[in-house]
A = this chain, B = another copy of it.
């Protein structure tokens, strides 16, 4: 019988039977602990194991050594939606570099699924857990997740003992607004998100701070809220792009809203960037390069945050560094073609 004759891996019993030895002997030989066992017997076991395709049981090995070289990655919808997959890529790359495997479970944010998932991962002896959210948010961490080293990715907790990494929303918004100011814009609108998420509030703060730092008075009339999609951006821009209030530059909560603003500008016969400059946020690979003209925007550092989270986690797993960091990761400017000097009014 070979391992492909039936479902399920070859068992140690099969190897023992084929080699005519006890299971203990097989175990000792395969775990390199066969002191005192004749070389000929050892070879018989190794041959039988090779012939049957026997794989030493990682679970049993884990029970002994308690090092699984496995990290659990629990998230809501990162893997299933087109927004933040680079976080998984960054986490993977950092884990592979340390010789560790990432087991990912998506919970859709369902607490029952999450409890089951955490239980399953802990039962499989993961050495640590990255608990990740699809976008920056405050969360309550389930108690089970705290049984092993834990790092929050794109999320924060009221429990200050848990390390976390999120984008520097305020810094990104400050830079986006400053970029428009550096091109000569003074009337700069902000298309904000109606939802009260950290990104919405902090990007508004960054926008205000950049105006203040450049001695431009904040004007509430230049801030219009909309849903955080294309339609919301379109509607908000249509409301804002009217005289006499019309801004010459727009900072948009995200790329989707910026794409909606570009749609509105085209309808109003405003050329980008000649009549209106636009800056988005997110640098979505399927949106920002596709707008007409391609969109200048702020990069969400998804990849870098994924790397950071796993590196921190491994430090803690290895017992090397238990410092608790709450990292704000910089959002770099990605320049494309949607920003220019403001039009000269006649």
Residues on A close to B: CB < 8 A? 3-4, 7-9, 53, 55-63, 66, 70, 78-83, 85-86, 88-89, 92, 96, 101-106, 108, 113, 116-117, 119-120, 122-125, 143, 146-149, 230, 256, 259, 263, 266, 284-287, 289-290, 292, 316-317
Q: Which residues of B contact A81 (CB under 8 A)?
A: 85
B101 near A116: Cβ-Cβ < 8 Å? yes
Contacting residues, chain B, for A120 (C-beta < 8 A) = 58, 70, 101
The verdict on A59 contacting B124 (CB below 8 Å), with A82-B85, A92-B80 known, is yes
If A59-B62, A116-B101 touch, whether A85 touches B80 (CB-CB below 8 Å) is yes
> Shortest Cβ distance from A322 into chain B, in angstroms?
10
Contacts of A106 in B (CB 8 A): 88-89, 92, 102, 104
**Known: A85-B82, A88-B79, A106-B104. Is A9-B290 also a contact (CB below 8 A)?**
no
Whole-angstrom distance between the Cβ of A180 and the nearest chain B Cβ: 23
- Which B residues are in CB contact (< 8 Å) with A117? 101
Q: How far is the CA of A147 from the CA of B83 in the complex (A)?
A: 35
Q: Please give 14 more A-B residue pairs, beta carbons under 8 A apart, in addition to A58-B124, A287-B287.
A: A4-B146, A4-B147, A7-B148, A7-B316, A9-B148, A53-B147, A55-B122, A59-B124, A82-B284, A102-B105, A104-B104, A124-B124, A230-B290, A284-B286
| Least CB separation from A306: chain B residue | B80
Contacts A63-B59, A82-B285, A147-B4 given; does A105 touch B105 at CB 8 Å: no
Partner of A123, one of B57, B146, B316: B57
Asked if A79 contacts B104 (CB within 8 A), the reply is: yes
A122 partner residues in chain B, CB cutoff 8 A: 9, 55
- Cα A315 to Cα B290 in complex, Å, equals 43
In the A-B complex, list the 3 residue pairs whose CB atoms are closest, starting with the nearest: A58-B123, A82-B82, A79-B79
Find out whether the CB atom of A123 lies under 8 angstroms from the CB atom of B55.
yes
